[in-house]
Amino acid sequence: MIFEKLLLSLWHKNVKAMPENKKTQSSVSPSEASKQPSESVQQYGLKAHDYVQVQCCSGKRCRKNDSERIVNLFKMMLHAHGVDDMVDVVTSGCFGFCAKGPIVRILPDNITYTHVKPEEVNVIVEKHVVRGELVEELRYVEVTAQHIEVESQHWSSFKRPVSLDSMLGNYIYEIGGTPFLNVLSYAIDAEKCRGCTACKRNCPVGAISGTVKHPHVVNPYKCTCCGKCKSKCKFGAIDGPIGVLDERNSVNDVLADIENTDKLVVAQTAPAVRFALGEEFGLAPGTVVTGKMVTALRQLGFDYVFDTNFGADFTIMEESAELIDRLKRHMAGDPDVKLPMTTSCCPAWVNFFENDYPDLRKYPSTCKSPAQMFGTLAKSYWAEKIGIPRENISVISIMPCVAKKYECARDEFIYDGIPDVDCSITTIELAEMIRTHGIDFVNLPDSAFDDPLGKATGAGHIFGTTGGVTEAVLRTAYETFTGKPLPKVEFTQVRGMDGIREATIDMDGFELKVCVVHTLNNARIIMDKLRAGELDYHLVEVMSCPGGCIGGTGQPYHEGDISVLEARQQAMYATDVTKMVRKSHESPAVKQIYDEFLGKPLGKKSHKLLHTHFRDKSILSD
Cα 25 from Cα 568, distance rounded (Å) = 66
Dump the DSSP string for 147-215: EEETTT--GGGTTS---EE-TTSS-EEEESSS--SS--EEEE-TTT-----HHHHH-TT--EE--TTS-
The answer to whether 435 touches 429, Cβ cutoff 8 Å, is: no
Residue type, 552: G
Ordered alpha helix ranges (H), 390-490: 403-407, 427-436, 458-461, 468-482
Cα 187 from Cα 157, distance rounded (Å) = 12
* Mean residue pLDDT across the chain: 82
* Per-residue DSSP letter, 519: S
> Which of left, alpha, beta for 420 (phi over 0: left; psi -120 to 50: alpha)?
alpha
List 165's β-bridge partners, or say none.
172
Query: Which pLDDT does position 171 carry in this prediction?
Result: 24
Q: Where would I find the beta strands (DSSP E) of 214-312?
A: 217-218, 238-242, 264-269, 304-307
Query: Which pLDDT does position 158 carry in this prediction?
Result: 30
Per the annotation, the verdict on 225 as an active-site residue is no
Cα 622 from Cα 611, distance rounded (Å) = 28
Task: Reply yes or no on whether the pLDDT at 94 is more than 70.
Answer: no
3-state secondary structure of 350: helix
The 10s digit of each residue's pLDDT in 23-56 is 333 344 333 433 343 444 578 878 888 778 888 8
Out of 120, 174, 318, 407, the active site residue is: 407
Out of 279, 280, 319, 471, the active site residue is: 319
Query: Which pLDDT does position 59 carry in this prediction?
Result: 67
The answer to whether 617 touches 221, Cβ cutoff 8 Å, is: yes
**Which helix (DSSP H) or strand (DSSP E) does residue 574 occupy?**
helix 562-578
**Which helix (DSSP H) or strand (DSSP E) does residue 506 occupy?**
strand 500-507
Out of 94, 193, 225, 345, the active site residue is: 345
Out of 391, 412, 490, 586, the active site residue is: 412
Out of 27, 163, 250, 365, the active site residue is: 365
The answer to whether 554 touches 277, Cβ cutoff 8 Å, is: no
Reported confidence tier of residue 97, pLDDT bands at 50, 70, 90: low
Reported confidence tier of residue 61, pLDDT bands at 50, 70, 90: low
Reported confidence tier of residue 240, pLDDT bands at 50, 70, 90: low
User: Average pLDDT in the 134-148 region?
Assistant: 60
Q: Is 186 exposed, middle or buried (0-12, 13-18, 19+ CB in 10 A)?
A: buried
The 10s digit of each residue's pLDDT in 146-156 is 332 333 333 23
The 10s digit of each residue's pLDDT in 563-619 is 999 999 999 999 999 999 999 999 999 999 999 999 999 999 999 999 999 888 775
Cα 272 from Cα 398, distance rounded (Å) = 10
Reported confidence tier of residue 363, pLDDT bands at 50, 70, 90: very high
Query: Which pLDDT does position 533 carry in this prediction?
Result: 92
The 10s digit of each residue's pLDDT in 425-458 is 999 999 999 999 999 999 999 999 998 898 899 9
Task: Reply yes or no on whether the pLDDT at 559 is more than 80.
Answer: no
Determine the longest span between alpha carbons in the chain, in angstroms.
81
CB contact set of 262 (below 8 Å; sequence gap of 6+): 392
Q: How far is CA 118 from CA 65, 84, 124, in A?
A: 11, 18, 11
Query: Which pLDDT does position 25 carry in this prediction?
Result: 36
Cα 68 from Cα 52, distance rounded (Å) = 19
Per the annotation, the verdict on 4 as an active-site residue is no
- Residue of 151 and 202 predicted with greater confidence: 202
Query: Which pLDDT does position 57 carry in this prediction?
Result: 79
Query: Which pLDDT does position 162 carry in this prediction?
Result: 28
The 10s digit of each residue's pLDDT in 506-536 is 999 999 999 999 999 999 999 999 999 999 9
Task: Reply yes or no on whether the pLDDT at 184 is more than 60.
Answer: yes
Per the annotation, the verdict on 549 as an active-site residue is yes
Cα 158 from Cα 163, distance rounded (Å) = 13
**Low-confidence winner among 40-54, 196-210, 257-271 (lowest mean pLDDT):** 40-54
3-state secondary structure of 425: strand
Per the annotation, the verdict on 232 as an active-site residue is no
The answer to whether 282 touches 442, Cβ cutoff 8 Å, is: yes
Q: How far is CA 597 from CA 102, 124, 377, 606, in A?
A: 35, 41, 10, 9
Cα 87 from Cα 130, distance rounded (Å) = 10
Q: Within its chain, how far is the Cα of 387 from the centroid? A: 28
Of 119, 122, 224, 109, nearest in space to 178 by CA: 109
Cis peptide before 364 (omega within 30 of 0): no
Task: Reply yes or no on whether the pLDDT at 275 is more than 50.
Answer: yes
Task: Reply yes or no on whether the pLDDT at 79 is more than 50.
Answer: yes
Q: Best-predicted range by mean pLDDT among 166-175, 225-234, 577-586?
A: 577-586
The 10s digit of each residue's pLDDT in 378-407 is 999 999 999 999 999 999 999 999 899 888
Out of 322, 354, 471, 541, the active site residue is: 322
The answer to whether 322 touches 367, Cβ cutoff 8 Å, is: yes
Per the annotation, the verdict on 280 as an active-site residue is no
Half-sphere exposure of 417 (CA within 13 A, CB side): 21
Reported confidence tier of residue 468, pLDDT bands at 50, 70, 90: very high
Query: Which pLDDT does position 96 carry in this prediction?
Result: 59
Structural domains for the chain: 28-130 (3.40.30.10), 146-242 (3.30.70.20), 252-310+371-443 (3.40.50.1780), 314-359+456-621 (3.40.950.10)
Q: Best-predicted range by mean pLDDT among 57-66, 76-85, 228-237, 478-487?
A: 478-487
The answer to whether 570 touches 286, Cβ cutoff 8 Å, is: yes
Query: Which pLDDT does position 138 carry in this prediction?
Result: 86
Query: Which pLDDT does position 20 carry in this prediction?
Result: 41
**Which helix (DSSP H) or strand (DSSP E) does residue 593 occupy?**
helix 588-593
Query: Which pLDDT does position 586 carry in this prediction?
Result: 95
Residue type, 497: M
Task: Reply yes or no on whether the pLDDT at 17 is more than 90.
Answer: no
Cα 411 from Cα 542, distance rounded (Å) = 23
The answer to whether 93 touches 244, Cβ cutoff 8 Å, is: yes
Please, what is the angle between helix 2-17 and helix 67-80, to 10°?
30
Q: How far is CA 105 from CA 46, 415, 525, 552, 572, in A?
A: 15, 18, 36, 33, 44
**Low-confidence winner among 9-13, 420-424, 584-588 (lowest mean pLDDT):** 9-13
User: Average pLDDT in the 416-431 region?
Assistant: 91
Q: Best-predicted range by mean pLDDT among 418-422, 539-543, 610-614?
A: 539-543
Dump the DSSP string for 58-94: -SHHHHHTTHHHHHHHHHHHHHHTT-TTTEEEEEES-
- Residue of 470 and 50 predicted with greater confidence: 470
- Residue of 446 and 256 predicted with greater confidence: 446
Per the annotation, the verdict on 515 as an active-site residue is no
User: Average pLDDT in the 476-502 region?
Assistant: 94
Share of the chain above pLDDT 70, in %: 82
